[in-house]
Amino acid sequence: MKKLQTSLASPLQQPLKLPCGITIPNRIAKSAMSEQLADRHGSPTIALQKLYAAWARGGAGLLITGNVMVDHRAFVEPRNVVLEDEQFLQANAEWAQAARLNGGKIIMQINHPGRVAVLPLLKKPIAPSAVGLDLPLMSVIRMPRAMSESEILEQVQRFANTAGLAVKAGFDGVQIHAAHGYLLSQFLSPLSNIRTDQWGGNPENRRRFLIETVRAVRQAIGKNKILSVKLNSADFQKGGLSQEESLQVALALEAESIDLLEISGGNYESPAQLGYAPERQTQRDAYFVDYATALRKMSKLPLMLTGGLRHVDFMNRIVADGTVDLIGLARPFALQTDLAKQLFAGKSVQEPVNIPTVGYKPIDAYLQLAWHAAQFRRIGHGQQPKPIKGLIPTLATFGPRMGFNILTQNKC
C-alpha cells in the first residue's frame, strides 16, 4: 500500500479568525496605498474596481483600500474617494464586490488629513493645534488652525458615518487611519498637539480623539464587522510619539476590542513607512518588527506588520512564532498583482525597481507615491505594470496630471 503524501501549507496560507468572527482566508494583506482613482466628485471609478479585481485574483486574504475621505472639505490628494452620504453608495458597492471576487475580505481605510491636506489650497487646514509642518515653507504656506471642541466631535461622527456607509456598501469593515501624520496621528503627537484641554496635554488626553472615534465607529458598524486601526509604532521625530507611548495606545485600543492593529510608522516630516528615516531600524527588513515583538509580550491583539517585509522565509517565521498574525505589503503589489500567490509558492518579493530621487526625503517619498500611482492607473485600465525609468519621465507622468486633478477637483 502506497503511503499517502501530504503537503502542509505554509503559515502564510493559514486562515485567521478575527475577534469579530470574520475569517481572513490567509495571512497576506495588501496594505493601503493612495490610488487617486476616484472621479472629480469623489466616486469610485471603473478603473478602481478593475485594480482591486486584479489584486483579488492575486490571492491576498485581505485588501485594505487607500484613503477614503470622511470630509469633502479636506483631501489627502485630489481624486481620493469621498464617502459622506448615499450618493455614491452603488459605486462603492461595486468596488467592494470587485475586491471580493476571489473570496478575500475588503476593508475601507477611512481618514482625515488634518494639517497635511492638499486641498483646498486656499483654505487653512484644521489640526489639533496651530502648529505647522517642520518642513521648509510649509509652516508658512499651510499653517493650520486649531480645531474647536465642537469640530473635534463633528469629525468623530464623520468617521462613524463613513464607516456605517462602508459596511452598508458591502465592505467587511473599516480601518481607522491613525498613522503617518494625518489628523488622528497629529492628535497623538506631542509635537503637533499642544492643546491644554481634555484633547491634549498628556498621553491619555492626546489619544482621546482616537478612542472616541473607535467607539463611535464600532457603534456604527456593529460587533460583527472588522474594526482595524493603523498606528505608528513611533513618529521617528525627536519629541514626537515615542514607541513607549505608542505601546500604551495599542493597549488602550485592545481594551476597546478592536479586531486588528496594523503597525506602521513615520509621517510627512520623517517618512519611515517608505524607508526614509534616520533610525537604523528602517534600513533593514521589517522596519517595525521590534515594536511588534514588544507589543506581543504585552498583548494578544491581532497584529498586522507592514513596512520593508520582502523575504518569504522571514514572513513565514514571524507568523509561525506568533509575533504577528498578518503580513502587510503595499508597494510590491504595484508591480506584482499576484504577489500573494508568489509568496505561497515560496518566492520572495522581487527586487525593488530604482525609483528616481532628488535627495530631499519628503519629495522623494512623494515621488515614490506618484511612481506607484502610475502603475495603479495602468492596472486599472487593463494594462500590465510598466516601471518608469528616470526622474524626468516620472515627473512628466505625474506632474501635469496632479496639476490638472487639483484644478478640476470638485470641492463642493
Domain of 270, in residue numbers: 22-352
Residue 376 falls within a domain, yes or no? no
Most confident option among 31-45, 130-144, 359-373: 31-45
Q: What is the CATH number of the domain that holds 255?
A: 3.20.20.70
Per-residue pLDDT, 132? 81
Flag whether pLDDT at 2 surpasses 90: no
Strand-strand pairing, 173-178 and 28-30? unpaired
Distance, CA of 285 to CA of 329 (rounded, Å) = 12
Per-residue pLDDT, 412? 52
pLDDT digits (tens, 9 = 90+) for 39-94: 999 999 999 999 999 999 999 999 999 999 999 999 998 999 999 999 999 999 99
Flag whether pLDDT at 355 surpasses 90: no
Residue 366 falls within a domain, yes or no? no
Residue 307 falls within a domain, yes or no? yes
C-alpha cell at 210: 482616537
Average pLDDT for the chain? 88
Residue 299 falls within a domain, yes or no? yes
Residue 5 falls within a domain, yes or no? no
Per-residue pLDDT, 153? 98
DSSP string across 238-299: TTS--HHHHHHHHHHHHHTT-SEEEEE---SSS-GGGT-SSSGGGGSSSTTHHHHHHHHTT-
DSSP string across 99-118: HTTTS-EEEEEEE--GGG--
pLDDT digits (tens, 9 = 90+) for 256-300: 999 999 998 764 444 444 444 444 444 446 688 999 999 999 999
Kindly give, in sequence order, each residue whose CB lies less than 8 Å from that of residue 120, ignoring residues fewer than 6 positions away: 73, 75, 411
Mean pLDDT value of segment 13-35:
97
Residue 118 falls within a domain, yes or no? yes
Per-residue pLDDT, 8? 61
Flag whether pLDDT at 248 surpasses 80: yes
Looking at per-residue confidence, does 35 or 373 come out higher?
35
| Cα–Cα distances in angstroms (integers) from residue 181 to residues 12, 134, 231, in the given order | 30, 12, 10
With vertex at residue 377, the alpha carbon angle to CA 267 and CA 54, rounded to the nearest 5 degrees, is 95
